[in-house]
Chains A and B, each alone.
Chain A
Amino acid sequence: MTLKLNCTELTPAVTARLSSCRTRLLQGDKVIRLLAVPLLLCLPASRLATQGLSPQALLHFSADTWPTYNGDYSGRRFSPLDQINASNVGTLTLAWIYRAHSQPIKSTPLEVNGILYFTTPDNVWAIDARFGHPIWHYHRPSRGDHIGHRGLGMYGDWLYFTTPDAQLVSLNARDGTVRWTIQLADPKLGYFSTMAPLVIRNHVIVGVSGDVTDIPGFLDSIDPETGSLQWRWYTEPQPGEPGSETWPKDSDAIRHGGGMTWMTGTYDPDLNLLYWGTGNPNPVLAGRARPGDNLFTCSIVALNPDSGKLVWAFQPSPHDVHDWDAVETPVLFDAEFKGKPRRLLAQASRNGFFFVLDRATGEHLVTAPFIDVNWASGIDSRGRPIARPELAPRPDGALVEPSSDGATNWLAPSFDPQTGLFYVSARRCFSIFYLTETGKPEGWAGRDRDLWSNSTLRALDYRTGKVVWNHEIGEGESTAGILTTAGHLLFTSDNQGNLLALDPSTSKTLWHLNAGGHMENGPMTYELDGRQYVVMAVEDTLYAFTLPR
């Protein structure tokens, strides 16, 4: 019956995809395991019970799946789907709405086998990706910082969820029941976790948050079956290790140096390198107790995901004193650079600078501001901005652009291989940074006071960092991520509650909807039964858009 129903509903697009899948099946491509419709048609009934997500599937694009926080390992947030495209986006219509009755949704949902999984602090929901109906809801009250939550990781039938009290919960994706819970770090010391774990083969990579106390940052690799620790990489090196020379020798500063790992990183399967951004050093605004560059805080690091060993590092903000975490997505793409094909990594960093590196070697290629900044006097020989010492926080205040909220932040950027442009939601923001602590600095030891901000979407030429187009999105600080698609579309939101679809080449607005609130997550897309859906969160509500039938 099910088979019949599916057959009658086959659209030309599905039929085409189906035949391509059959070809891939003949070639032995494992990706077919994920495609629900061909599964029904091609595989014995016993396989129907297999609904999980194989780690192998993360290596290949699959139209009906958004299997990681960023949609794939590259962090590009570019989807090859093009059913919804520049010529028909004006007819976009609502497929369904799901209201979570929660704090704002900041997570990018996963979509696997027709089910969406998304989060807020303490909460996980599974809902029907076609129709928006709830399947299950997991709620686990906890103490700790409830600032936001980014989403989940998935391995087989299991989901991985981080918590405000710094635990990692493994849930059964069928029904949301708990398989096991492990403690990542001691919440009494100020640790918590908000990030979406990243699954690489049999590693669940998990980071932590917390900078109001002076605690060291780290990144864990957890066994997806048992929850046991496979390796831990500390942001601060051990005394004597490379990087330790960038901390004072005669104090405990290096053991209390911060550098949280609170955003999901990216992965290159060919190089087998994991890329991660690290947060600000501690004490946050007071640098005098930690003279030196303070490696590997405010850095982009490349790690071996099997051993946790550092392969290379680049530091966007040496000796940061403004809370400019370098945790923004390290986006991976292969493209021409100075006439040669290169394997690149690009980050639009919270300090207002755009960086491009060779991701195999860490070689620095481009540094350029993507928005106005006043804190840097130039760029050093290694491509790092040089801070103006007079704009470090002071007892009498220093007027700095950007503010501690940053020239960008957790908002997902995107790279579109069709346009060759890197997109970032950028902010102009001034604040006065005060150093308030008079004794030994501990914790923040100061604070900045926001004055004025506005936001703009920017398209950057990755070869130079130059701004190709600018699209103003209003006063205040932007909160929405960006998605680009092969349909020649860029989805995001402005600061007044309008969902937007722009032409990624020109920034022309092709579609908009006043959705009545702020988008604080990243848009995502998938195709099921031949229909492409684009899902965006506004406040505590998910909106799924599709084309009219």
Chain B
Amino acid sequence: MTLYMLLKLPWLPVVCFAAAAYWSFRDRIWISTRWPGPAGVIMSVKRLRRKAEGGKRLALCVAVLGVTCATLARNPGTRAAQTDLPPAAESEHGTQLFRQSCGFCHGPDATGARGPDLVRSPLVAHDVDGNLIGPVIRNGRPDRGMPPLALSDDQIKAIAAFLHDRLQQAIRSAQLPRAYPLERLLTGNAAAGRRYFEGAGGCTACHSVTGDLKGIARKYAPLDLEARMLYPEGSASAVTVTLPSGEKVQGNLEHLDEFVVALRDASGWYRSFSRDRAQVEVRNPLAAHRELLDRITPSDFHDLFAYLETLK
């Protein structure tokens, strides 16, 4: 069964979301049967904000929620029963309708022009499926110069869906988009970046564009490449522990705090030592990157990235 076929199944997102929500929030009751308004989504988004606050399970739940929403959007038939999230097609229709009927005063993206910003409107935040937006459109607000508009129920629902989608876009702006346009990142000078790579950056001490970095720009999405260029996580530190007897034990660092050092030795076994009887020497392969963070200038940063992006 292909992923697409799986996604077409209407029950799948419901089960995924319910399972993820239960898993993440099983210490309290949190089962949403309808679109919870911005607060509900904010709850998820805010979790991503501070790693120390949440952890991976929350991020996964949000990810599952995202997939769920996206899948629901593909399946209008499942929509109303689950989350009231606007399906993409309706929102598309709503976008056109809004621009034609409302955009002149409220701006084509609803962020306000002559008329108020509707993304920040309390009425929109409280609206469900056009139940509050509808009367305003039909009756207008003569005291504020808004004329009544004769739109059908379906048209009003489409406009409401568009406005809810705009609010969600604002809330989702607290996350980095998965696909970030490369052209926005390419503000540096690749030739200058090459000079930095080969010179002041000191990159060639460990890296080679024909060796480990060959085709690096194909390997990573632009945002990931930019982050890894500055600090590539995941490399284990090497450690040497010298015991009072003079014996030296070497391996990959597993744990280090003020009291304990632990390593995995060449034979694959875990060993730990109390630090009050051991001298510890750690060799961090990322030490040069850590030092780079302190000294790289904004222009070197963008030049170097432009250079790495040429390594297709």
A123 contacts B293, C-beta separation under 8 Å? no
A491: chain B residues within 8 A (beta carbon): none
Q: Chain B nearest CB: distance from A283 CB in Å? A: 8
**Of B38, B126, B177, B293, which one neighbours A213 at CB under 8 angstroms?**
B38
Q: At the interface, yes or no: B3 with Cβ under 8 Å from chain A? A: no
User: 1/0 per residue B225-239: CB within 8 Å of A?
Assistant: 011001101000000
B117: chain A residues within 8 A (beta carbon): 252, 440, 442
A442 to B107, CA, bound (A): 14
A121 to B185, CA, bound (A): 39
Q: At the interface, yes or no: B296 with Cβ under 8 Å from chain A? A: yes
B257 contacts A430, C-beta separation under 8 Å? no
Query: Which residue from chain B places its CB closest to the CB of A451 in the assembled complex?
Result: B231
A395 to B298, CA, bound (A): 13
Q: Chain A nearest CB: distance from B261 CB in Å? A: 11
Query: Which residue from chain A places its CB closest to the CB of B36 in the assembled complex?
Result: A143
A391 contacts B49, C-beta separation under 8 Å? no
**Of A213, A436, A440, A444, which one neighbours B111 at CB under 8 angstroms?**
A440
Q: Chain A nearest CB: distance from B111 CB in Å? A: 4
A122 contacts B28, C-beta separation under 8 Å? yes
Query: Which residue from chain B places its CB closest to the CB of A284 in the assembled complex?
Result: B174
Q: Contacts A122-B28, A444-B173, A449-B227 given: A145-B119 contact, CB under 8 Å?
A: no
User: 1/0 per residue B253-268: CB within 8 Å of A?
Assistant: 0011111100000000
Q: Chain A nearest CB: distance from B265 CB in Å? A: 21
Q: Chain B nearest CB: distance from A185 CB in Å? A: 10
B120 contacts A442, C-beta separation under 8 Å? yes
Q: At the interface, yes or no: B37 with Cβ under 8 Å from chain A? A: yes
The total of chain A residues at the interface (CB under 8 A) is 76
Query: Which residue from chain A places its CB closest to the CB of B113 in the assembled complex?
Result: A440
User: 1/0 per residue A512-538: CB within 8 Å of B?
Assistant: 101000101000000000000000000
A452 contacts B293, C-beta separation under 8 Å? yes
Q: At the interface, yes or no: B184 with Cβ under 8 Å from chain A? A: yes
Query: Which residue from chain B places its CB closest to the CB of A476 in the assembled complex?
Result: B52
Q: Contacts A103-B27, A284-B174, A396-B185 given: A494-B257 contact, CB under 8 Å?
A: yes
A443: chain B residues within 8 A (beta carbon): 170-174
A284 to B45, CA, bound (A): 14
Q: At the interface, yes or no: A102 with Cβ under 8 Å from chain B? A: yes
B46 contacts A145, C-beta separation under 8 Å? yes
Q: Contacts A189-B38, A390-B298, A442-B111 given: A477-B46 contact, CB under 8 Å?
A: no
A384-414 with Cβ < 8 A to chain B: 390-391, 395-399, 401, 404-405, 409
B226: chain A residues within 8 A (beta carbon): 397, 432
**Of B122, B169, B258, B293, which one neighbours A189 at CB under 8 angstroms?**
B122
B111 contacts A439, C-beta separation under 8 Å? yes
B289: chain A residues within 8 A (beta carbon): 452
B173 contacts A192, C-beta separation under 8 Å? no
Q: At the interface, yes or no: A416 with Cβ under 8 Å from chain B? A: no
Q: Chain A nearest CB: distance from B296 CB in Å? A: 7
Q: At the interface, yes or no: A423 with Cβ under 8 Å from chain B? A: no
The total of chain B residues at the interface (CB under 8 A) is 70
Q: Chain A nearest CB: distance from B13 CB in Å? A: 20
A212 contacts B109, C-beta separation under 8 Å? no
Q: At the interface, yes or no: A450 with Cβ under 8 Å from chain B? A: yes
A87 to B28, CA, bound (A): 43
B173 contacts A477, C-beta separation under 8 Å? no
Q: At the interface, yes or no: B5 with Cβ under 8 Å from chain A? A: no
User: Residue among B40, B120, B125 with the most chain A CB within 10 A?
Assistant: B120
User: 1/0 per residue A170-187: CB within 8 Å of B?
Assistant: 000000000000000011
Chain A residues touching B, majority SS: loop
User: 1/0 per residue B101-121: CB within 8 Å of A?
Assistant: 000000101011000110110
A188 contacts B125, C-beta separation under 8 Å? yes
**Of A188, A256, A479, which one neighbours B38 at CB under 8 angstroms?**
A188
A122 to B25, CA, bound (A): 12
Q: At the interface, yes or no: A361 with Cβ under 8 Å from chain B? A: no
Q: Contacts A145-B46, A165-B39, A443-B174 given: A452-B29 contact, CB under 8 Å?
A: no
Q: Chain B nearest CB: distance from A485 CB in Å? A: 21
A496 contacts B255, C-beta separation under 8 Å? yes
User: 1/0 per residue B161-178: CB within 8 Å of A?
Assistant: 000000101111111110
A399 contacts B28, C-beta separation under 8 Å? no
User: Residue among B46, B176, B233 with the most chain A CB within 10 A?
Assistant: B46
A333: chain B residues within 8 A (beta carbon): none
**Of B40, B174, B256, B260, which one neighbours A447 at CB under 8 angstroms?**
B174
**Of A436, A439, A479, A494, which one neighbours B177 at CB under 8 angstroms?**
A436
A451 to B119, CA, bound (A): 32
Listed by A's residue number, 21 A-B pairs whose Cβ atoms lie within 8 Å are A143-B39, A146-B30, A147-B50, A164-B39, A164-B43, A188-B38, A212-B174, A374-B294, A396-B187, A396-B302, A397-B226, A397-B302, A399-B298, A430-B231, A436-B176, A443-B174, A474-B256, A477-B51, A479-B52, A494-B257, A494-B258
Instruction: Give A residues with C-beta under 8 Å from B.
Output: 101-103, 121-123, 139, 141, 143-148, 164-165, 186-192, 210, 212-214, 252, 256, 284, 372, 374, 390-391, 395-399, 401, 404-405, 409, 430, 432, 434, 436-437, 439-447, 449-452, 472-474, 476-477, 479, 494, 496, 498, 509, 512, 514, 518, 520, 540
Give the 4 A-B CB pairs with smallest separation, nearest first: A444-B174, A442-B170, A443-B170, A440-B111
Besides the contacts A102-B28, A395-B187, what 16 more A-B pairs have beta carbons closer than 8 Å?
A144-B39, A186-B122, A190-B125, A192-B42, A212-B45, A252-B120, A284-B174, A391-B298, A399-B230, A434-B176, A442-B117, A442-B169, A443-B174, A447-B176, A452-B293, A498-B257
